[in-house]
Amino acid sequence: MKRRSCQQCGDALQGRIDKKFCSDQCRFLFNNQKKRKAEVTIANVNQVLRRNRTILKGFNPVGKTTIRQSLLTKQQFSFDFYTHLYRTKNGMVYYFIYEYGYAFAADEKVVLVTWQPYMNHPVNKVMFRERFEEE
pLDDT by residue, tens only, the chain of 135 residues: 567 899 999 999 988 889 999 999 999 999 998 888 778 888 889 999 999 999 999 999 888 999 999 999 999 999 999 999 999 888 899 999 999 999 999 999 999 999 988 877 554 444 444 444 444
Query: What element of type H or E holds 69?
Result: helix 69-74
Grouping H, G, I as helix, E, B as strand and the rest as coil, residue 113 is strand
Kindly report the pTM of this predicted structure. 0.66
pLDDT at 3: 77
- Residue 121: predicted pLDDT: 59
37-70 core/surface letters (b: 16 or more CB in 10 A; e: else): eeeeeeeeeeebbebbbebbeebbeeeeeebebe
